[in-house]
Amino acid sequence: MIWEVFRQEAAGDYHTHCGNVHAPDREMAKQFAVIQHGRRKPAHSLWVVPQDEVAEVDEDEADFGGSTDKSYRWAMTYNDVEPAAREVADSEAEQAEAGADRGDS
């Protein structure tokens, strides 16, 4: 049985997928995950999930965000105003970064 492994580097971080292990049951999966994924890189906590329980939907099936112009829902669109506060500017920067990652023009 294959178990997908998610590692959290430090307390408060997100658990992110880092690989998988072969194991007969949950307890063994946890042990193997510790050995294979919890030793070389910083780890504060690991999750193991049976691979069968992971459902996937990919970009062939779903329009993530679609191809329609949705510029109206991004802070960068409203250029006639300056961010009112630091956290507004931070949010805009995160949105711009996500836009670049998505490959928006």
Partner 1 sequence: MDIAEVRDRAGPREFNAGDDMPEEYREAATRMIQFHANSEIMGAYLERPFVRQAPSLDRKLAFSAKVQDEIGHGQLLYRAAESLGVKTRDEMLDELANGEGKFLNCFHYPMDSWAETPMIAFFVDGAAMRRQATLKSSSWEPYAHAMDKVCFEEGFHVKHGEDILRELMNGSRKEQRMVQDAFDEWWPRIVQFFGPTDDDSTHHGFAEEVGLKQMTNDQLRSAFLNAYVPKAEQYGLEIPEYPRIEERDDGTYEVRESDLDWDEFFAIAKNDYEPGVGQIDGRARTQEAVEWVRGVLDEREQAAGTTAAAAD
Residues engaged in binding partner 1 (CB under 8 A): 11-14, 45, 70, 72-75, 77-78, 80-81, 83-92, 94-95, 98
Query: Cβ 33 to partner 1, closest distance in Å?
Result: 16
Query: With respect to partner 1, which residue has the nearer C-beta, 60 or 101?
Result: 101
Query: With respect to partner 1, which residue has the nearer C-beta, 41 or 73?
Result: 73
CA distance 2 to 28: 11
- DSSP-H helix ranges across the chain: 26-37, 86-102
Query: Cβ 16 to partner 1, closest distance in Å?
Result: 13
Task: Give me the long-range contacts of 26-30 (CB less than 8 A, separation at least 24).
Answer: 29/1, 29/3
